[in-house]
A and B are shown apart, each in its own frame.
Chain A
Amino acid sequence: EDQVTQSPEALRLQEGESSSLNCSYTVSGLRGLFWYRQDPGKGPEFLFTLYSAGEEKEKERLKATLTKKESFLHITAPKPEDSATYLCAVQAAPRGAQKLVFGQGTRLTINP
């Protein structure tokens, strides 16, 4: 069964304090790994897709990386507006399987 585990569950940082969020996955062939940001009362907002080990994507203060077993979301010099829940999801390779399997998320709080 495809599984995604995110850690930590919650993380508090001071403004400017860099850190990383982890997403470990077990999947029967990876088609893609997705990172989303979710604000309270809103739907998930797409951030990145990673397809193969070694791939990296960047957007502003965020950088996502991928290995064969896990992905990291690195946050550099975060600001209070980066506070949100970050969700990781995988899409498995079997033909026709389009569903995303999500982790429980990491709730990130950036204190000014």
Chain B
Amino acid sequence: GAGVSQSPSNKVTEKGKDVELRCDPISGHTALYWYRQSLGQGLEFLIYFQGNSAPDKSGLPSDRFSAERTGGSVSTLTIQRTQQEDSAVYLCASSLGPNQPQHFGDGTRLSIL
């Protein structure tokens, strides 16, 4: 079946602009996660959504980062006033529920000029 889908696959933008990244989870998966992968930093957790519960935002690095999940399915990660240190691959994952294996999309490669 279809895996986690992310768009765009690549995004280049100027410093100071806002960007929106989209994630379509696997159908039927109730849990959704965002991670960031930077050179030398590895994968770091950003935010977790589960059903209608309040999201776990503990990994968001600053208030410029926000995410929402509409209708329990599609999620959007928004970065406002982008900085060069925001350049990274942003990965989305979904799972059947809590404590289940997380399945990743291929990510959005974000480059801030």
**A residues within 8 Å of B by Cβ?**
31-32, 34, 36, 41-46, 49, 87, 89, 91, 96-105
Contacts and interface: CB of A to CB of B under 8 A. Distances in A.
Given A101-B45, A102-B42, A46 B101 contact: yes
B107 A43 contact: yes
A49 B4 CA distance: 19
B106 A98 contact: no
A45 B56 contact: no
A98 B4 contact: no
Interface of B: 4, 31, 33, 35, 42-45, 48, 50, 56, 58-59, 91, 93, 98-99, 101-107
A32 B99 contact: yes
18 contacts: A31-B99, A32-B99, A34-B102, A43-B93, A43-B106, A43-B107, A91-B99, A97-B56, A98-B48, A98-B50, A98-B98, A98-B99, A99-B33, A99-B48, A100-B43, A100-B45, A104-B42, A105-B42
A43 B102 contact: no
Contacts of B105: 43
Contacts of B106: 41-43
Given A34-B101, A43-B4, A99 B91 contact: no
Contact of B104 (A43, A98, A103): A43
A109 B59 CA distance: 32
Contact of A96 (B56, B93, B102): B56
A35 to B, nearest CB: 10
Contacts of A42: 106
B67 to A, nearest CB: 14
